[in-house]
Amino acid sequence: MKQKGKFNWYAIPFVAFSFLSVWLILSELWAFNNWSNLKAEEIIFELSQPLTGTGDDIIAKYIYKCLVPGLVIAAMVTAYLILFRRSDAVRKVSRIGMFLSIVIAIEAFAYGWVQLDLGEYLANAGKDSSYIEDNYVDPRSVSITFPRKKRNLIYLYLESTEATFADTKSGGAFEENCIPELTALAKENEDFSGSALTLNGGRAMNGATWTVGAMFAQTSGLPLKTGLDTNGMSSQSSFFPGITTLGDILGDNGYRQTLMIGSNASFGGRRLYFTEHGGYDIRDYVYAQQYGLIPSDYKVWWGYEDEKLFAFARQRLTELSNDPDTPFNLTLLTADTHFPDGYLCEKCDPEEFGGNQYAEVFHCSSRQVSEFVAWCQEQPWYDNTTIVISGDHLTMDADFCDNVADDYERRVYTCYINAAAKNAAPEKTRDYTTFDDFPTTLSALGCTIEGERLGLGTNLFSGKETLTERDGARQMNLELSRRSEFMEARSGVSRKALATRAAIEKMNPKLSIKELDDGTLYCRVTGLEDLSSYSDVVDYVYLHIRNANQLSIFLPKLMREPDGSYAVSFSPDYLEGNKDITCMVRIVTTDGTIDMTDAIPYSLSR
């Protein structure tokens, strides 16, 4: 009788580490090839966010380039082990393969550790710093006086736009100016370059190096940090309720405020932040679909292109100006210049920069911004309007700045147009951060600020010393990288709430959908039996049902059944004629909403 071979104990770890090593290597290559200057804080924040609003092409590319190859390698290893399971050599191959794949996985992990400087990040995150608390000026503690006739504000966040992209003669780092129109605007107006003939701009500090962090920094004078696992600010019930921002101040002074962006505002918590702080009217990609500004199935890049954004902005400004007695704040965020390589719209010339797509996209954006500003200057309301233009953060494109000298200090593009304030130190080249935009914007509107400081920012028109001028950028960044109890206390997120959320997120719910004989849809969720243990914080469970264009159509509550499952039955009439839907299980707690499943597709049979 033939003796059965011994079980190959090396097979399972061989397969697992084969997948892990390939996935880690390809993920790192993909990340570092797409993002430059990638920071650990950005990854941790963004991974904690729901995927709502994320570009579908980015997710698809990651799956195709990183996840699929890892699975293919794992499948090939598995097939080899099965086909040659009776071979005497297979155990030896398994041992060697397991050892090599572990070594490769460790090397890949070590490479990521060094590239992201995780050691320093973890060391600083574990240290406490009182720097923010010691230097923070609470807007509620000082007097802010508006002029008798309040000025309108147009605030343009330009995605990934730096002063770096100008030519060297203008203070940039490129041979050919990618942003000539923006360069001219900054030189003709105010960027706090003093007597220098070169561009100046703000430093994007720790906690302000990605879009929502940048928007938060420029309107609050603070870095977006909690020292805790954020677990998705867009799923929280509040976004830093303990602070006062530009939106709060303008809202309290009667401003009508609008945020317009060509992507889904929910991504990164932007909708929550601007709704809570200032009650902005959010007009994003979803709004444009819902109100027929674009076809319901229209999508390019992150939603719709900047050409449409500026067209919609002109329409909105015309509407807002119809009430001359009510000041307005129109805030825009562009998207075409997002990495990698940006989006070439119909206005772009793909051959202008020798086929360098990203350079042309920036030039195209520069032209469009200049044209928009020129249009504003022709309007009857312009004399009483201040325009602020700022890059949100440095570009994360992996290779666009490869030829920029290591000692060149990259800064975001900054320009104040038609400001109702005079520069008290017009000859001085200022060293400032995007935190300084907070009080400087109010000053540009003609406001008088007691002490000339708000948040961590200094009014640049005042000539008063900024924190970077006093402490140096390196020391300030070091302090900002450390844990701040001051920020944690104002974030609206408690450690207990996070612990509860973490426990709930470990549950593994399963959703089943069935069409009954009478056409009724029956939806049942299992795997939430332990949810009763958190009845003090759980308000209810519901389904978030969207149509094929990901627009919300129905939010039915799920009721707890005797067996611990959650279920709901409803007529398909509630689906407004949509046959193809997606369903997501969500739990509403006292501290925000938790997405418990991915969007699960379902097609009605009748």
Residue 50 has what pLDDT?
Answer: 46
Domain ranges of the chain: 11-125, 144-225+244-432, 496-603
Domains 144-225+244-432 and 496-603 equal at CATH topology level: no
Residue 78 has what pLDDT?
Answer: 82
Residue 3 has what pLDDT?
Answer: 44
- For residues 150 and 505, give the distance between their C-alpha atoms in angstroms, rounded to a whole number: 47
Residue 512 has what pLDDT?
Answer: 93
Residue 342 has what pLDDT?
Answer: 94
Q: Read off the pLDDT of residues 101-128 as tens digits, 9 standing for 90 and up.
A: 888 888 878 877 777 767 666 666 667 8
* CA proximity to 66, closest of 108, 13, 7, 119: 108
* 572 prior amide bond cis, ω within 30: no
- For residues 571 and 483, give the distance between their C-alpha atoms in angstroms, rounded to a whole number: 51
Residue 58 has what pLDDT?
Answer: 62
Global pTM?
Answer: 0.73
User: What kind of fold does domain 496-603 have according to CATH?
Assistant: Immunoglobulin-like (2.60.40)
Residue 29 has what pLDDT?
Answer: 75
Residue 53 has what pLDDT?
Answer: 46
Q: Where are the beta strands (DSSP E) in 80-239?
A: 144-145, 152-158, 201-202
- Secondary-structure breakdown of the chain: helix, strand, coil percentages, each rounded to the nearest 5: 40, 20, 40
Q: Read off the pLDDT of residues 446-496 as tens digits, 9 standing for 90 and up.
A: 999 999 999 999 999 998 999 999 999 999 998 998 889 899 888 877 666
In SS3 terms, 268-301 reads as: HHHHHHHHHCCCCEEECHHHHHHCCCCCCCCCEC
Query: Which residue stretches of the chain have pLDDT < 70?
Result: 1-10, 32-59, 85-86, 88, 117, 119-126, 226-237, 494-496, 498
Instruction: Give domain 144-225+244-432's CATH superfamily.
Output: Alkaline Phosphatase, subunit A (3.40.720.10)
